């Protein structure tokens, strides 16, 4: 069993870490203060990411991406987790789902997105369809060569800076052994299409500078040529994508936790109380030990799922375990970090407080911890069904 | 015309230096591997720019070191160097700067068409800054140190700007030259992902002592420097006093009084 990174992977890690430290971290406080990323800064980050090949690193080399294997991509995402979510977004990894583009879609959506000329966002969640995505109420009704779309999507990331949405909508119903089930179709919908509006979403506690949006479709007409993948088979396309986003969340959490631990180590070694560094007290040092151990465990779970993906052997539960453990780990690490820093852990001047705030959403988005547990337990019990 | 950048693999800048019974060690608690000497990153960038802006046909990275030094050379390739050469032989171990200069000079003589050789101003581990000048001496080429800009390469001459304590000076000299550069010369680029991939596919040739025509002794036996007493500087002892006061003005006044009292000002 060889757990060593290759020279190429080590170089990628070093390069991305330097990029994060020089190009992203210096702007963290500004993003927190302004609750946004200036358009010039967005362009600056995108341009540099494009120049050095970080942009669209998840896309195949033959399409203009960096063509990273999944392990390398996870290592890159881990390093990006060391900085603001809002900032690292502009080192874009377009939704893997757009690789399902065919025909004219390739020139109109896929390639410009990889080149950084167009930007995607993914519209799935709805006010009445969160974890139960198939319960979505956004409807797509066929009318000749067009679909007429009506409904609302919410908590849609990056729609405020996107040029088009990858929209999932219910396009009909079918009878299955388990009863009536909605058929889902995926569409590419340009911003500015009549009947499609985007507005700022909810103010949430996590990830300042990043904004969720509410997408309203009111009789929006989309040509059938804009169906992504196969009509009524939108979830087939989505399922290929869900694993990679869960890995991405897990990797982000590992990087974020590593940075948090480093800050805690520094503080524990230099903050003197009662005549000695607080790290000399087991009440603090044991916290560091637990943090380091759980970070390592989360990292290996994540890398293991990535490695399995590269071997073509990853299962849903591999992604679920990585996402579940890494997000729960980050909650523990950031909470203990606040405790180690004491009052200063809650000061806005200290990045630890925002890591603590940011950590909360990781256990919710891209499948809550409960959904991940459901996936894992279902896999555990599946062999016993029908016995 | 080829430009050659001489680099060294050194501990990372975050590694902690310690001395135990005269033995020096560098430990990086973050597990960061050895890196291209940070001063040399400016030299690598400048070598690539000499190719991009001054018509050099090739930018070549050259390192003397153990086989592990290939990692530093891969970084040079990933940044944009066309070729990398490792000079490595067990007999080179323990060379002082003069021995190193003899080895590098022999390697440079073997590179046909090398006219500009660039070093970083010093290595972060040895910190002598001697090697560039010693290499120039062995080759019989012109040394120019503390270069902050390469202004022009025209025909057989090169015009450089040097950054000195009291100001800058412009120097024009004949090629070939050996220069050492300061950090003000440029902002080193990142290795690109494409470059990283290229670097890891590249074959880096290793030249041994048998491949070179080295004049003079090399290795520990020929070292003229005697590291007889290496020790860590004892930690300074001191105390911290926080100047209290109700206003900034009051605190400043108290601080000034204190500084006068201690004869600091």
The whole-number pLDDT of residue B32 equals: 66
Residue of chain B with shortest Cα separation from A55: B193
In chain B, the percentage of residues whose pLDDT exceeds 70 is 98
**A103 falls within a domain:** no
Q: Do B200 and A7 touch (CB under 8 A)?
A: yes
Q: What number of residues does chain B have? A: 265
- For all residues of chain A together, what is the average pLDDT? 94
Query: pLDDT digits over A18-34, tens only?
Result: 999 999 999 999 999 99
Q: Are residues A259 and A371 in the same domain?
A: yes
**Residue A192 belongs to a domain with what CATH number?**
2.40.110.10
Query: pLDDT digits over A120-135, tens only?
Result: 999 999 998 888 888 8
**A100 falls within a domain:** no
pLDDT at B31 > cutoff 70: no
Whether the CB of A114 is below 8 Å from some CB of chain B: the reply is no
Q: Are residues A248 and A149 in the same domain?
A: no
Q: Are residues A232 and A257 in the same domain?
A: no
Show which of A236, A256, A290 is a domain's final residue: A236
The whole-number pLDDT of residue A16 equals: 96
Q: Do A53 and B192 touch (CB under 8 A)?
A: yes
**A126 falls within a domain:** yes
**B237-240, long-range: CB within 8 Å, 24+ apart, which pairs?**
none
Q: Are residues A58 and A130 in the same domain?
A: no
- Alpha-carbon gap: B75 to the closest alpha carbon of chain A (Å): 8
Determine the average pLDDT of the residues in A59-64.
93
**A2 falls within a domain:** no
Q: Do B193 and A15 touch (CB under 8 A)?
A: yes
What contacts A148, CB < 8 A, 6 or more positions away? A140, A141, A142, A219, A220, A221
| Cross-strand partners of B58 | B2
- Residue among A18, A53, A262 minimizing CB distance to B193: A53
CA A18 to chain centre: 21
Q: Are residues A253 and A310 in the same domain?
A: yes
Q: How confident is residue B225, by pLDDT bands cut at 50, 70 and 90?
A: confident
**Three-state DSSP string of chain A:** CCCCCCHHHHHHHHHHHHHHHHHHHHHHHHHHHHCCCCHHHHHHHHHHHHHCCCCCCCCCHHHCCCCCCHHHHHHHHHHHCCCCHHHHCCCCCCCHHHHHCCCHHHHHHHHHHHCCCCCEEEECCECCECCCHHHCCCEEEEECCEEEEEEEEEEEECHHHCCEEEEEEEEEEEEECCEEEEEEEEEEEECCCCCEEEEECCCCCCCCCCCEEEEEEEEEEEEHHHEECCCCEHHHHHHHHHHHHHHHHHHHHHHHHHHHHHHHHHHHHHCEECCEEHHHCHHHHHHHHHHHHHHHHHHHHHHHHHHHHHCCCCCHHHHHHHHHHHHHHHHHHHHHHHHHHHHHHHCCCCHHHHHHHHHHHHCCCCCCHHHHHHHHHHHHHHHHCCC
Q: Are residues A131 and A257 in the same domain?
A: no
Whether the CB of B194 is below 8 Å from some CB of chain A: the reply is yes
Q: Do A57 and B197 touch (CB under 8 A)?
A: no
Q: How confident is residue B233, by pLDDT bands cut at 50, 70 and 90?
A: confident
Q: Are residues A187 and A292 in the same domain?
A: no
Q: Are residues A137 and A207 in the same domain?
A: yes
Taking CB atoms and an 8 Å cut-off, how many pairs form between chains A and B? 42
Q: How confident is residue A259, by pLDDT bands cut at 50, 70 and 90?
A: very high
Q: Are residues A182 and A53 in the same domain?
A: no
Q: Are residues A258 and A321 in the same domain?
A: yes
The whole-number pLDDT of residue B29 equals: 65
Query: pLDDT digits over A287-305, tens only?
Result: 999 999 999 999 999 999 9
- Looking at the structure of chain A, the number of domains it has is 3
Show which of A236, A259, A289 is a domain's final residue: A236
**Residues of A with CB below 8 A from B192's CB?**
51-53
Show which of A236, A261, A279 is a domain's final residue: A236
The whole-number pLDDT of residue A91 equals: 95
Among B74, B190, B203, pick the best mutation site for testing chain A contact (most A Cβ within 10 A): B190
Q: Do A66 and B191 touch (CB under 8 A)?
A: no
**A213 falls within a domain:** yes
Q: Do B196 and A15 touch (CB under 8 A)?
A: yes
**A344 falls within a domain:** yes
- Residue among A11, A19, A57 minimizing CB distance to B78: A11
Q: Are residues A169 and A251 in the same domain?
A: no
Q: Are residues A216 and A247 in the same domain?
A: no
| Domains of chain B, CATH where assigned | 2-222 (3.40.50.620)
Determine the structural domain holding residue A256 and report its residue range.
Answer: 242-384
What contacts A100, CB < 8 A, 6 or more positions away? A186, A228, A229, A237, A240
């Amino acid at each position: 069993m060889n757990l060593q990174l290759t020279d190429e992977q080590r170089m990628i890690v070093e390069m991305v870490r330097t990029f994060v430290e020089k190009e992203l971290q210096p702007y963290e406080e500004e993003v927190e203060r302004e609750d946004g990323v200036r358009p010039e800064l967005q362009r600056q980050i995108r341009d540099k990411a494009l120049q050095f090949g970080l942009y669209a690193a998840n896309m195949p080399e033959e399409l203009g991406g960096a063509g990273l294997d999944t392990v390398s991509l996870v290592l890159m995402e881990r390093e990006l987790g060391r900085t603001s979510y809002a900032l690292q977004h502009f080192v874009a990894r377009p939704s893997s789902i757009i690789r399902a583009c065919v025909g004219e879609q390739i020139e109109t959506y896929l390639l410009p997105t990889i080149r950084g000329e167009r930007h995607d966002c993914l519209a799935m969640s709805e006010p009445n369809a969160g974890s139960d995505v198939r319960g979505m109420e956004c409807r797509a009704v066929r009318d000749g060569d067009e679909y007429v779309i009506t409904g609302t999507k919410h908590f849609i990331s990056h729609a405020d800076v996107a040029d088009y949405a990858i929209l999932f909508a219910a396009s009909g119903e079918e009878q299955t052994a388990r009863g009536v089930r909605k058929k889902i179709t995926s569409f590419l919908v340009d911003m500015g299409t009549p009947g499609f509006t985007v507005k700022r979403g909810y103010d949430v506690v996590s990830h300042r500078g990043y904004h969720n949006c509410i997408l309203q479709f009111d009789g929006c007409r989309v040509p059938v040529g804009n169906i992504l993948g196969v009509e009524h088979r939108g979830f087939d396309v989505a399922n290929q994508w869900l694993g990679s986003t869960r890995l991405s969340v897990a990797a982000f959490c590992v990087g974020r936790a590593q940075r948090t631990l480093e800050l805690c180590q520094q503080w524990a070694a230099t903050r003197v109380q009662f005549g000695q560094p607080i790290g000399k007290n087991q009440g603090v040092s044991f916290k560091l030990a637990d943090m380091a151990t759980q970070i390592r465990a989360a990292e290996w779970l994540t890398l293991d799922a990535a490695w399995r993906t590269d071997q073509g052997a990853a299962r849903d539960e591999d992604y679920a375990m990585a996402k579940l453990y890494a997000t729960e780990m980050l909650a523990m690490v950031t909470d203990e970090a606040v405790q180690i820093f004491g009052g200063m852990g809650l000061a806005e001047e200290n990045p630890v407080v925002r890591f603590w705030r940011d950590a909360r959403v990781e256990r919710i988005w891209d499948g809550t911890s409960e959904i991940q547990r459901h996936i894992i337990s279902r896999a555990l019990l599946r062999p016993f069904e029908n016995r | 015309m080829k430009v050659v950048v001489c680099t060294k693999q050194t501990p990372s800048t975050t590694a902690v230096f310690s001395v135990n019974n005269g033995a020096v060690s560098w430990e990086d608690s973050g597990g960061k591997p050895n890196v291209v000497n940070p001063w040399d990153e400016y030299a690598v960038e400048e070598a690539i720019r000499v190719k991009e802006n001054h018509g050099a046909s090739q930018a070549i990275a050259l390192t003397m070191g153990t086989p592990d030094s290939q990692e530093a050379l891969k970084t040079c390739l990933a940044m944009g160097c066309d070729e990398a050469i490792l000079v490595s032989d067990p007999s080179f171990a323990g060379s002082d700067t003069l021995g190193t200069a003899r080895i590098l000079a022999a390697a440079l003589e073997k590179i046909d068409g090398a006219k500009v050789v660039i070093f970083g101003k010093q290595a972060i581990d040895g910190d002598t800054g001697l090697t560039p000048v010693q290499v120039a001496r062995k080759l019989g080429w012109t040394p120019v140190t503390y270069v902050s800009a390469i202004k022009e390469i025209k025909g057989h001459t090169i015009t450089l700007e040097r950054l000195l304590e009291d100001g800058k000076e412009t120097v024009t000299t004949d090629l070939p030259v050996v220069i050492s550069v300061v950090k003000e010369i440029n902002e080193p680029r990142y290795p690109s992902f494409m470059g990283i991939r290229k670097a890891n596919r590249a074959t880096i040739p290793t030249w041994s002592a048998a491949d070179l025509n080295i004049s003079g002794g090399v290795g520990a036996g020929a070292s003229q420097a005697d590291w007889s007493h290496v020790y860590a500087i004892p930690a300074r002892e001191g105390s911290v006093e926080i100047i209290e006061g109700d206003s900034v003005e009051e605190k400043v006044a108290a601080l000034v009084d204190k500084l006068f009292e201690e004869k600091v000002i």
